Amino acid sequence: MQAVLLTGGEIDNMAGLLTMRERQAFSLWATRQVLTMLDDNPIFEALDRDLVQRCPLPLDRSVAIAGPEGELGIRVLAFPVPGKVPLYLEKQAGGDLAGSAEGSIGLEISAGGKTIHYVPGCASLTPGIRTRINRSDLLFFDGTLWNDDEMIAAGTGQKTGRRMGHMSISGPEGSIALLGDLEIGRKIFIHVNNSNPVLLAHSPQRAELNRAGWDIAADGMEIDL
């Protein structure tokens, strides 16, 4: 492994770093805002800075993260996505739940003439994001919830998807509908919450999703482009 990229400052995004402290050397890329969150938590000094270089990931500008530059290397461009501030900073942030531009990002990853897009959390689909992901060879997209209120309906939570910074898969304002007219080679939902019925292989929701040309990511999945 040569590089780790963080797409946000939620615990889900960052806590895994704490298991990577056995003197592995790698580059750690994140926006300046997320790097500041790491800096503000001394526990992440577990990643020895002599081995793990913390690299600011710019927005809307491509950087080489691994391998030689050019066709054989991997280049990454981070782009802002509507999201919200991490839950554990909400009290501190007060009412400003929309967060700043760098709070959530998507990644455009290019190598060998192919380009994939990775968007694990997206509160709404802006024209800029639509343009960015159109003609992608492979899109990984926020599949947290099927319905905005499914956690409330299931009694497993008190928050809507919108409140958590996630658009839903279904409905007229859902990702299946709003991404349906784009030309995308392959479309895979990620970050699927345990309340989401698409996780059940034989659910009607899974069938609907598959008919719309989408798949669900699975552990150990390998994809050839």
Between residues 12 and 137, which has the closer beta carbon with respect to a second copy? 12
Question: Under 8 Å CB-to-CB from 139, ≥6 apart: which residues?
Answer: 116, 117, 119, 133, 179, 184, 186, 187, 188
How is residue 119 written in tokens? 């968007």
Residue 93 burial (C-beta neighbours within 10 Å; 0-12, 13-18, 19+): middle
41 binds a second copy (CB under 8 A): yes
Between residues 77 and 85, which has the closer beta carbon with respect to a second copy? 85
- How far is the C-alpha of 167 from the C-alpha of 164, rounded, in Å? 9
How is residue 34 written in tokens? 């997320």
Between residues 44 and 214, which has the closer beta carbon with respect to a second copy? 44
46 binds a second copy (CB under 8 A): yes
40 binds a second copy (CB under 8 A): yes
Residue 149 burial (C-beta neighbours within 10 Å; 0-12, 13-18, 19+): middle
- How far is the C-alpha of 225 from the C-alpha of 188, rounded, in Å? 13
152 binds a second copy (CB under 8 A): no
Q: Which stretch binds a second copy (CB under 8 A): 10-18, 103-111, 123-131, 216-224?
A: 10-18
Q: Which stretch binds a second copy (CB under 8 A): 11-19, 130-138, 147-155, 198-206?
A: 11-19
Q: HSE on the CB side for 196, CA within 13 Å? A: 25
Q: How far is the CB of 95 from a second copy (least distance, A)?
A: 17
Q: Which stretch binds a second copy (CB under 8 A): 37-45, 55-63, 65-73, 95-103?
A: 37-45
Q: Using CB under 8 A, pick the residue from 55, 63, 66, 87 that binds a second copy.
A: 87
Three-class secondary structure of residue 27 per DSSP: strand
194 binds a second copy (CB under 8 A): no
Q: How far is the CB of 119 from a second copy (least distance, A)?
A: 24
Q: How far is the CB of 11 from a second copy (least distance, A)?
A: 5
The DSSP output letter for 98 is: T
Q: Which stretch binds a second copy (CB under 8 A): 34-42, 93-101, 122-130, 168-176?
A: 34-42
Q: Of 187, 105, 82, which Cα lies nearest the Cα of 141? A: 187
Which chain residues interact with a second copy by CB under 8 A?
A: 11, 14-15, 18, 21, 37, 40-46, 87-89, 91-92
